């Protein structure tokens, strides 16, 4: 039963670690590829983008933007970011006129070319909630703590088991060495006994008694 539970726990914990790694790749690795991630905070672009979706934005030259493109841009002086569709372009004054898909009227203020962040390339539904949670306290600290616990839970038991097996192997080796040494000593004593038997085989009983007496006499001297 314990082995079954251990296997289940290993599968679950490994899956969670893999999930966290994948989230890290989608959230952080995208920057390496030149994308910026933004969480959708309103329904102005529904049904294409819903609240909580994470959109991946690629920087582009504002002069290449065409009517019908979705753009991500700085909305106001508070650096609020929005994503709307371009409906008109004033190339001479470098202005883009935008509108949310779910909105009935155009945005009141045009977007200057300099305020364009880029063009959304793809999105992942609801991943924005995860992104906001793990990148801001206290979610950031919770995520780090859970990640450390999961990594320890996955790898620490194996490390302990490996150390235990190594200690058991050392103990077995030591016992085997002692057994081998005892066997060698027994073989040596056996050979010595056989040698003594061979040496005394040529003597009669009286001669052996005389030899013992001589040895005892030498000891007493």
pLDDT for 173-200, tens place per residue?
777 788 877 878 788 878 777 777 766 6
At 177 the pLDDT is 80
Average pLDDT of the residues of the chain? 81
At 49 the pLDDT is 95
Q: Which residue has the higher pLDDT, 125 or 163?
A: 125
At 217 the pLDDT is 67
Inside any domain, residue 143: no
The CATH number linked to 83 is 2.10.109.10
52 with 123, same domain?
Answer: yes
pLDDT confidence tier of residue 28, bands split at 50, 70 and 90: low
164 with 111, same domain?
Answer: no
pLDDT confidence tier of residue 2, bands split at 50, 70 and 90: low
The residue whose two tokens read 């190594």 is 166
**How many structural domains is the chain composed of?**
2
List, as one string, the DSSP characters of 2-25: HHHHHHHHHHHHHHHHHHHHHHHI
Tell me the pLDDT tens digit for each residue of 88-145. Answer: 999 999 999 999 999 999 999 999 999 999 999 999 999 888 878 877 788 777 777 8
At 121 the pLDDT is 94
Q: What is the mean pLDDT of residues 62-72?
A: 96
Q: What is the mean pLDDT of residues 50-70?
A: 95
193 with 111, same domain?
Answer: no
107 with 168, same domain?
Answer: no
Inside any domain, residue 189: yes
50 with 119, same domain?
Answer: yes
125 with 159, same domain?
Answer: no
Inside any domain, residue 109: yes
Inside any domain, residue 145: no
List, in order, residues 6 or more apart from 25 with CB less than 8 Å away.
Answer: none
Inside any domain, residue 104: yes
Inside any domain, residue 139: no
CA–CA separation, 31 vs 21, rounded Å?
15
Instruction: Find the domain containing 167 and state its range.
Output: 155-221
Pairing of strands 54-58, 116-124: antiparallel
Phi then psi for residue 41, to 5 deg, are -115, 0
pLDDT confidence tier of residue 1, bands split at 50, 70 and 90: very low
47 with 125, same domain?
Answer: yes
- pLDDT over 90 percentage in the chain: 37
């Amino acid at each position: 039963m314990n082995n079954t539970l251990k296997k289940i726990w290993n599968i679950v914990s490994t899956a969670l670690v893999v999930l966290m790694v994948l989230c890290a790749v989608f959230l952080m690795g995208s920057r390496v590829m030149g994308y910026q991630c933004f969480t959708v905070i309103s329904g102005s672009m529904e049904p294409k983008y819903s609240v909580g979706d994470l959109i991946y934005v690629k920087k582009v030259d504002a002069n290449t933007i065409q009517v019908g493109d979705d753009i991500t841009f700085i909305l106001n002086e508070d650096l609020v970011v929005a994503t709307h569709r371009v409906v008109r372009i004033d190339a001479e004054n470098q202005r883009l006129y935008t509108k949310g898909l779910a909105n009935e009227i155009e945005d009141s203020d045009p977007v200057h070319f300099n305020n364009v962040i880029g063009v959304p390339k793809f999105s992942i539904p609801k991943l924005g909630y995860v992104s906001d949670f793990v990148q801001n306290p206290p979610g950031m600290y919770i995520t780090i703590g859970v990640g450390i616990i999961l990594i320890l839970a996955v790898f620490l038991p194996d490390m302990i088991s490996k150390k235990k097996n190594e200690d058991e192997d050392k103990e077995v080796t030591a016992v085997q060495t002692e057994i081998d040494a005892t066997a060698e000593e027994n073989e040596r004593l056996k050979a010595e006994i056989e040698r003594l038997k061979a040496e005394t085989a040529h003597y009669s009983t009286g001669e052996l008694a005389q030899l013992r007496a001589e040895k005892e006499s030498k000891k007493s001297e």
